[in-house]
Amino acid sequence: MAAKQTTAEKLADLRERLDKAQDPGSERSRKRRDEAGRTTPRQRINELLDEGSFVETGSLGKTPGDPDAIYSDGVVTGYGRISGRPVCIYAHDKTVYGGSVGVTFGKKVTEVMDMAIKIGCPVIGIQDSGGARIQDAVTSLAMYSEIARRQLPLSGRSPQISIMMGKSAGGAVYAPVTTDFVIAVDEEAEMYVTGPNVIREVTGEDITSAELGGARQQELNGNVSAVVPSEEDAFDMVRDLLDHLPLTCFDESPEFAAPSDAEVAEDEDLNAFMPDDTNAGYDMMDLLTQLGDDADIIEIQENFAPNMITAFGRIDGKTVGFVANNPMHLAGCIDADAADKGARFIRICDAYNIPLVFVVDTPGYLPGVEQEKVGLIHRGAKFAFAVVEATVPKVSLIVRKAYGGAYAVMGSKNLTGDINLAWPTAQIAVMGAAAAVVMIAGKQLDAAETPEQREMTKKMFMDFYDETMTAPYVAAERGYLDAMIQPNQSRLALRQALRQLATKQENDLPKKHTIAPM
């Protein structure tokens, strides 16, 4: 019979176990990690959280029934603070079972998610997992389901952020794309359902993992919110995002100091912003920066559907969500990808009570056979559906073109927009003059006897159309605009509109849920 341990021996035993749990992977795995220049999961967590705030949970967890089981079971879990506000967090440990999902792994992750649900705080996952743990068979799959089941009560209640710092394959890839934001580290992150080796074996297709699911490829696929060059940049973005988001949908987003009304009352630079040529491009992000309080604009999905800009900023010290057309790409037309991008961002803003500011310059939905093939009809409807469904304040500023159905979905009054503003450079119509003249004056153009006469007739009708149809004063006279403003009044006008709408409340008709176009 073994001698009974003294208290001192018990304390020493605990210290020894905790020390082993700090970096429990095999010597070979740790060496491979260190040679690759990767940090440990605990280092990553401590780098992200406020200094000294991380409290680890489940560090001594092991796979049950396995005498050789390793502490932590492939994931580090716990809670802490970012900018003084609570978060729950987990990070995969690639050196332990490849970061694969096992029974104890799953229990640890679900426990921090349960804590986030109870107390109301964001969940951050640092992803670097090989997928399901084959040895655990169906138990591993059950843990995937347990994790996914908790993402639903968290979704739209508390922010969920995934940081992709390595491979995420198989079932492990579904959890991050179900979160609100996915930040991928360039040249490190990989995401795919089926890896290149299996694809090569099954289909004969030879493809590298980077080509299949590298960070840049998944950015183009629309599966990540941002690609950043390093882990440090990923952590910076998480902090910036959380500075723009509430702890829960029942809380307010953090409020920051803002310039006074007098300071923003007349921004003369905006009066010279818009080019005289109505077809000339310009930097929409530059305009958004000038409309906001400062240059702290966080663009979401920058390189996916760049013809639509979705970004967080601040007006009057409070978070807003910008939805803006980008004339530098596809002339600002809304295509199927842009509709998906805009719809998702609008739903995120609506879930977290973030007002929407639409900055409009679009010649319409993008026409063409290819767009019809990829589902522009139902995907475009999804965008309109998200706009109508959103109950947060919605303010639109039309700076140039607002044509056709795209005018309607970009926060127009008839599609539940609250306050509509326009610059004198705005053009609002079913279509632009160049397209309309063919339909309105087609016979007169065909009757022209010379090319010169045809051009003269075309110009005459286009000028008439611009004066009587596209001029913003037509919309203002008919009550579809709340105010025509000079560009230099935009910052103050947006502030005043959002202040007026701060107490907005909308109650939908009773039902279980809406059925959005998919």
Asked about 213 being catalytic, the answer comes back as no
| Angle CA 481–486–491, to nearest 5 | 90
Tokens of 506: 């909308």
Question: What is the distance between the alpha carbons of residues 192 and 176, in angstroms, rounded to a whole number?
Answer: 12
The closest of 198, 235, 299 to 47, measured between CA atoms, is 235
The closest of 61, 57, 54, 51 to 20, measured between CA atoms, is 61
Q: How far is CA 293 from CA 155, 319, 348, in A?
A: 29, 10, 22
To the nearest 10 degrees (0 to 180), the angle between helices 231-243 and 41-48 is 40
Of 130, 405, 411, 417, which residue is the catalytic one? 405
Residue 66 CB: number of other CB atoms within 10 A?
13
Of 98, 171, 213, 214, which residue is the catalytic one? 171
Of 61, 166, 170, 213, which residue is the catalytic one? 170
Asked about 411 being catalytic, the answer comes back as no
Length of the chain (residues): 518
Burial per residue of 71-107, b for 16 or more beta-carbon CB atoms within 10 angstroms, e otherwise:
bbbbbbbbbbbbeebbbbbbbbbbbbbbbbbbbbbbb
Of 215, 305, 402, 406, which residue is the catalytic one? 406
Asked about 386 being catalytic, the answer comes back as no
At a CB cut-off of 8 Å and minimum separation 6, what does 41 contact?
A: 75, 76, 91, 92, 93, 126, 128
The residue ranges of DSSP E strands in 369-490, in sequence order, are: 394-403, 419-422, 427-429, 483-484
Half-sphere exposure of 252 (CA within 13 A, CB side): 7
Mapping DSSP to helix (H, G, I), strand (E, B) and coil, where does residue 275 land? coil
Paired with 360 in beta bridges are 398
Phi, psi of 394 (to 5 degrees): -130, 115
**What are 82-86's contacts with CB under 8 Å, separation 24+?**
82/48, 82/49, 82/50, 82/238, 82/239, 82/242, 83/50, 83/239, 83/242, 83/243, 83/254, 84/50, 85/121, 85/242, 85/247, 85/254, 86/119, 86/121, 86/247
Asked about 170 being catalytic, the answer comes back as yes
- Assess contact for 161 and 244: CB atoms under 8 A: no
Question: What is the distance between the alpha carbons of residues 167 and 94, in angstroms, rounded to a whole number?
Answer: 9
- Assess contact for 362 and 321: CB atoms under 8 A: no
Q: Which helix (H) or strand (E) holds 361?
A: strand 356-362
Residue 41 CB: number of other CB atoms within 10 A?
26
Active site residues: 170-171, 405-406
